[in-house]
Copies of this chain bind each other. A is one copy, B any other.
Amino acid sequence: MDFLKDRRTIRKYQQRDIPADLLNDLLQMSFRASTVGNMQVYSVIVTRNDEKKAQLSPAHYNQPMVKDAPVVLTFCVDLRRFTKWCEQRNALPGYDNFEWFVTGAVDTLLAAQTFCVAAERAGLGICYLGTTTYNPQMIIDALKLPELVFPLTTVTVGWPAELPEQVDRLPLEGVVHEEFYHDYTEEDINHIYSYKESLPENLKFVLENNKETLAQVFTDIRYRKEDNEQMSKHLWETLKKQGF
């Protein structure tokens, strides 16, 4: 299972298409992932068209992967299809609420990640765009997502044109708890983050940004409290607007 151990995110792609048959095969596999009540409450939007990519690009802060990848996949929670089916079958649906947004998110992300594993196994490279929930309304507009459909994550896919170094991860004991949650002591936190903090690239980030600690690079530059709170508000409002 070295393909799982050795994986890395790929942000640069060859100028080479992904055949429709291969893409469909990978998507079909991904839909074999577990799903609540076998309801498959998700939809996937496949973007290959340059104009559409250009429309999506600003929602993702113009990260170059959106325009450069041959395929961009937007994985959406979709309670609309199931709700329509219920309505056509004389059944009263009740899936326009927060519980089903979260349940749909589980379905959606299991499919998305299965797609990524299958794609990497086939030699493709992928990159997740966490920006999907930062500007959901722009994506909703670009992809014409109707009520009860919500964009949750985006994956850019293509044949790798780079082999970056594998990045660090926290030590296993920093993430796994036996039997119950063992809350972290100050010492635990120091231990868990010490390797990350010692990495030359992270020391460089701290220095270049004129910060005291690596944590400040996250809180002052990358993911700031005021931005997070603003985005929270927008995300919630957009969720409501989409009917959840």
Contacts and interface: CB of A to CB of B under 8 A. Distances in A.
A237 to B, nearest CB: 10
A208 interface: no
A82 to B, nearest CB: 8
Which bracket fits the contact residues of A? 35 or more
Interface string A130-147: 100110000000111110
Contacts of A4: 29-30, 32, 114, 117-118
Determine how many copies of this chain the complex contains.
2
Contacts of A116: 33-34, 110
Given A91-B213, A94-B219, A219-B86, A102 B133 contact: yes
Interface in A193-244: 193, 212-216, 218-220, 222-229, 231-232, 235-236
B88 A143 contact: no
Contacts of A226: 94
B232 A97 contact: yes
Given A34-B116, A109-B109, A216-B90, A99 B133 contact: yes
Contacts of A93: 219, 225
B37 A91 contact: no
Contacts of A117: 4, 113-114, 117
Given A34-B9, A169-B31, A218-B39, A46 B176 contact: yes
Interface string A176-200: 1111110110100110110000000
A213 to B, nearest CB: 4
Given A94-B224, A117-B117, A170 B31 contact: yes
A207 to B, nearest CB: 15
Given A4-B29, A95-B223, A105-B105, A24 B215 contact: no
5 contacts: A31-B175, A45-B181, A46-B178, A98-B232, A109-B109
Interface of A: 1, 4-5, 7, 9, 24, 27-34, 36-40, 42-49, 52, 76, 80-82, 84-86, 88-95, 97-100, 102-103, 105-106, 109-110, 112-114, 116-118, 121-122, 126-128, 130, 133-134, 142-146, 149, 152-153, 167-170, 172, 174-181, 183-184, 186, 189-190, 192-193, 212-216, 218-220, 222-229, 231-232, 235-236
